[in-house]
Structure 1
C-alpha cells in the first residue's frame, strides 16, 4: 500500500471512530418537578402516596437518600442547576434579583458539542433560555388549566387542557417526531406541579378529595428546642396558608363566614387559577369542590383551632398529592416511549425537584429552610449498563453537581468556574474520596414567609446553621439521633468537639466556594436598597 492510500485509510478509520464515539454519547432526559417533596415519592416513603412510575427510575437505577440543594427556593435553585455555581456567584440569590444571562449554562455547552436540546414546561425565569434548539415554556409560574406557553418558533400560545398532561405530550411529541435521530439529545422535561396553588386534574381531584392522610408527628410543633428563626417563620398551615387560593374555599363563602384573606393575593390566586378554566372544566370542578364548600360552611362555626388545623392539612394533602398523581402518570408515559422506541438503552434519566417541601411537618408548608424537609430533594437516576439497578447512595450530593455530571456523561469538559462534583463515580459504586459536607445559603429576607437569612454545613451525621442579619444565632443538630430536628445541641457540652470541627469546616467551605461576610453584607444592602417584597408570582 502506498503512502497516499495508507493516509486515506487512516483518515477514514479516524472518521469512522469519531462517528462511533459520537454515537456512544448518551441521551439525557432531565425531569424536574416544582416543590416535589421526597416524602411524596413512594421510593422514599409510601405513607402518603404511591408513585410507581417515578419509582421505576430507582428500581432500574439509583436512589439518592441525601441529595440536597444549595438554596431552597425555586428560581435560585434552577440557576444553580444551569450554571453549576452557588447563588452568590451566579447572582440569582432569590426570586427577585434577575438572572445574569451572560453566564455559560450547561445546555449551551451541550448544544455547542453536538447535542440537540429541548425544554418543555416550567423554567420560572427568563423567556428565552439559551442553549435550546426548541422550547415551549410557561411564563413565570404558569397556570394549571389552559396554560399559556412562550415558544421559540410560534410566539405565545394558549393550549387547552391540564398543564402536566400538556407538558408530557409536548415532550413525547418532540421525542417522536421532531428530534434529529442522528444526534444525541438533551431533554429538559419540567413540570409546574406540584407548586402552589395546587390544582389536580379532574380525574385526580375526584379521587383525592375523598382520601384521608396520616398527619405528621410534628404537625402541632411548638418550636421549643430551636432558636427564633423557626418560631418567627410565617408558613403555618392554619395561620399563613391562603383560604381561597390554597384551601379552595370560594371567596363568597369566605365573605359569608367572615374569614379574612390571609394574604393580599388570597382571593386573587383563586380567581387566577380556577378562573382560567373553561365552562366545562369549571362545571366539573364545582361538582366536587362546591359540596366541599357547603359542608365547610356547616362545620366551620363549630370548629376549634385544632379542628381547623387538621382540616387544612387534609385539604392541602388532597390537592398537593393529587397534583403529583398526574406527574407520575406523565413520567410513566415518557419512560414507556423510551422503552418502545429503543432509546432507553442509551438514555440517562434523572428525576429531581428544585428543592424539598414541607408537608405539614412542624406545622408548615413551603420550603426555604436548611431544615431537612426543605433542604433535602428527591434524586433518582438510571443509566443502563452504568448504574446497577436498585442501588442506593447515602452521600451528600447537591443540585450543584448536576451540570458537572451531565457534561461529564456527554464527554464535555466543564468550565473551570463550575463548583459541583461529577457524580459518575458514585453511579458506578466508587464512593471513596467524595465530599463529606455540603454548603447551603438562603438569602430572601425580609420577605414572604419571613425565613431568616442563614448559611450552614451539612454532613451525613450533623448540621450546623448560622442565622444572621437581624439575629446572630447558631443551631446544631445530630441528624442520626434527632432526624426531625427538634432540639438544637449547639450548647450541649457533649458536642463541643464536634461543634469546633464543624465551625472550622464551615469556614473552609466558605473559602472554597468563594462566599464571605463581605458578600453577605453586599447582598443584604442590595436587598434593602431594592426594598423587595415578593409579588404573588414570586412566592
Structure 2
C-alpha cells in the first residue's frame, strides 16, 4: 500500500514539475530563411508598375506581388551603374575598388575572395546561380551553376552548366526561369537554400519572346518631355556622350536588319511576320529629324517592355512554386536589377551616370513575419546592402570590410539613428562604350555633387533635386548654393577617405587585380 502511495506521489510530482523544467529549456532554434534573389539586367524602375510611373508603361503584376506582400524601396542606389561591377557588389557587399571589378571592359572577378554565397554554403545552405553571371571568372561558392557566357543571347542560348558547355533551344528568359525551378524541385529539401535567378533581359538589343511581339497592340507611348534635351545648363560630359536614341541606337537595335542570331527557321518566320510589314511601312514613310527619333523611341519601348513581360511571368512562376510547396512563409524574395536605365529621358538609353534614372534601381522585398505587407521605404539603401542582409538573416556574422549595411531594421520599420545620409558613387568605364566620362560624386536626399575628373580639364556639377528633379541645370558655383556646396565637398572628401578610394584609378587596360589585403575563402 505504501509503495502504491509513493508511486502515486512521485507521478503527481513529475506531472506538475515536468512542464516547468521544459519551459526552462531553450526554445527551438528557428529555421533559417530560404533566399530567392531575382535579378534582371537594365530593368528601369519606370517599367515596374508598382512604382506608379505616370505613363503607366507596363503592368508587372508578379513583381508587384512581391511589393504588395512586402516592401517597395524608392531610393535603392547603385555605387557603379554598369552590369559587371554591380554584380560584383552584390556578391561582396563592397565598392568596386574593394572587390576589384571596376568595369566591363577589362575586369575579372577574383573568385577566391569572400562572398555571401560562400558563407551561406559553409553554414549549410544549398546555393545555386542560374542565368547571367557576367563576371568573367567561373562562379565559386555555388553547389550548382548554370550560366550564360558573357552577355548571353536571347534565343537558343549556349550556356555553361557546372563547367560543361551546353546548348539549349528556347527563349532565354523562359529557360532561366525553368532551370531555376528545376533546381528548386530537385534540391535537398532538408536544407535551406539560396537561389540567384539572374536574367539577361531586358538588356540591349531588347529581343522579346515571340508571344510578346505586338503585346502593346501598336500603342503610341507618351514621350518624356526631355526626349529632345539639348543638355544646356550642363557640361562637356553630357554633350560628349554617345548614348542617344537619335544617333547611337542602331538599325539592328530597332529590328530593321536581320533577326536575332541563332534563331530556328520557325522562330525566324514568326519574327519576320511581325516586324517585316511594320518595317516596310517605316521605310515607305522616309522619316527624318524628330519624327525619326519618335519612331525609334516607340519601337524601343515596344521591344524593351516586351522583354520585361517575360521576366515578370518568370517571377510569377517562382512565386507560385513557393506557394504550392508551402515555402513562402520562410523565404525571403528579392527582385532588383543591376542598375537603372533610360527610357528616352534626356534622349538616352543605357545607364552609367550618377543621374537618377541610372543611379536608382528597382527593389522590392518580401519576408513574411518581418516586413509589413504593402510597406514603402524612402531611405537611401543600396545593392551594397544585400550581402550583409542575407548573412544576418541566416544568423551569420558580417565580415569585416563590407561597405553595405544590414537592411533588417529597415525591413522592420526601425531605421537606425546612424543610417546613411549620403552615398558615394564612382563610374570608371572610359574609354569605353557610350563615352560617358569617368566621374565620382556624393548623393544626399536633395543634392548631388559630381566631379568629372579623368580628363585634361576636370570640372564639377551640382544639382538640387528639389528644385530641379530632372537634373537639367547645374548649380555648381552659384552664390546661393555656396554653403551647401562646401558641405558637399567636405562630405565627398570624407567618404573617399573612409572608403579608402585609391587615387589614381586602376589601369584602363589589362587585367584588373583585386586590392591587396583582400580576404580569401
Find out whether 1:125 has 2:135 as its counterpart.
Answer: yes
Corresponding residue pairs, total = 487
Q: Note the 1:393-432 alignment, pairs <5 A.
A: 393-432=377-416
Give the TM-score normalised by structure 2.
Answer: 0.90
Report the 3-state secondary structure (helix = DSSP H, G, I; strand = E; otherwise coil) of the residue aligned with 2:480. Answer: helix
Q: Note the 1:23-422 alignment, pairs <5 A.
A: 23-46=30-53, 47-95=56-104, 96-126=106-136, 128-152=138-162, 155-176=164-185, 178-208=186-216, 210-244=218-252, 246-250=253-257, 274-300=260-286, 303-422=287-406
Aligned-pair Cα RMSD in Å = 1.9
Give the unaligned 5+ runs of structure 1. 2-8, 251-269, 532-539
Query: How far did residue 126 of structure 1 move?
Result: 3.1
For residues 379 and 121 of structure 1, the distance between their equivalents in structure 2, rounded to whole angstroms, comes to: 19
Query: How far did residue 209 of structure 1 move?
Result: 6.3
Report the 3-state secondary structure (helix = DSSP H, G, I; strand = E; otherwise coil) of the residue aligned with 1:319. Answer: helix
What are the superposed Cα offsets for residues 31-69 of structure 1, whole Å, 9 maximum, x if unpaired?
A: 100000000001113421111110111111111101010
What are the superposed Cα offsets for residues 3-42 of structure 1, whole Å, 9 maximum, x if unpaired?
A: xxxxxx9xxx9xx969x42x52000000100000000001
Equivalent in the alignment of 1:259: none
Query: How far did residue 148 of structure 1 move?
Result: 1.2
Query: How far did residue 337 of structure 1 move?
Result: 1.0
Report the 3-state secondary structure (helix = DSSP H, G, I; strand = E; otherwise coil) of the residue aligned with 1:469. Answer: coil
- Flag the structure with higher helix content: 1
Query: How far did residue 135 of structure 1 move?
Result: 1.3
Give the TM-score normalised by structure 1.
Answer: 0.88
Equivalent in the alignment of 1:455: 440
For residues 425 and 522 of structure 1, the distance between their equivalents in structure 2, rounded to whole angstroms, comes to: 35
Tell whether the 8 Å contact from 1:204 to 1:325 is kept in structure 2 after alignment. Answer: yes
Tell whether the 8 Å contact from 1:398 to 1:438 is kept in structure 2 after alignment. Answer: no
For residues 73 and 127 of structure 1, the distance between their equivalents in structure 2, rounded to whole angstroms, comes to: 17
Tell whether the 8 Å contact from 2:111 to 2:138 is kept in structure 1 after alignment. Answer: no
For residues 528 and 54 of structure 1, the distance between their equivalents in structure 2, rounded to whole angstroms, comes to: 39
For residues 480 and 217 of structure 2, the distance between their equivalents in structure 1, rounded to whole angstroms, comes to: 48
Report the 3-state secondary structure (helix = DSSP H, G, I; strand = E; otherwise coil) of the residue aligned with 1:24. Answer: coil
What are the superposed Cα offsets for residues 415-440 of structure 1, whole Å, 9 maximum, x if unpaired?
A: 10111111100000011321111110
For residues 209 and 305 of structure 2, the distance between their equivalents in structure 1, rounded to whole angstroms, comes to: 11
Report the 3-state secondary structure (helix = DSSP H, G, I; strand = E; otherwise coil) of the residue aligned with 1:494. Answer: helix
After TM superposition, the structure 1 stretch with the greater mean CA deviation from structure 2, 107-116 or 474-483, is 474-483
Report the structure number with the largest CA radius of gyration: 2
What are the superposed Cα offsets for residues 432-477 of structure 1, whole Å, 9 maximum, x if unpaired?
A: 3211111100001121100001001111111111111113111111
